[in-house]
Amino acid sequence: MVKTFCKSGESEAVKGAVHALGGMLAASMAAYNIAAWCYRRETHLGINAIVYTLAIVWEVKQTVHHLERCEAATPETPRAA
């Protein structure tokens, strides 16, 4: 079951949703660290803000990748002329 799920082209919508959820989590963590850094200017908060912002970019890239795979797997229906 896991081997099938992990194959490329299988359950791409679920995989995309997991990455989207990861992106939302990274965004909330980035927002907190950015806000905390603005008030406290502690080095680790600035580093965390950068890392979590990069994680957002990564998760968006992965989400788009899986959604593109979903669209590619969906055959187009012919339109009525």
pLDDT for 51 equals: 98
pLDDT for 74 equals: 64
Each residue of 24-77: pLDDT tens digit?
Answer: 999 999 999 999 999 999 999 999 999 999 999 999 999 999 988 887 766 666
* pLDDT of 81 higher than 60: no
Residue 29: burial class (beta carbons within 10 Å; 0-12, 13-18, 19+): middle
Write the Ramachandran bin of 76: left for phi over 0, alpha for psi from -120 to 50, otherwise beta: beta
pLDDT for 69 equals: 86
pLDDT for 60 equals: 96
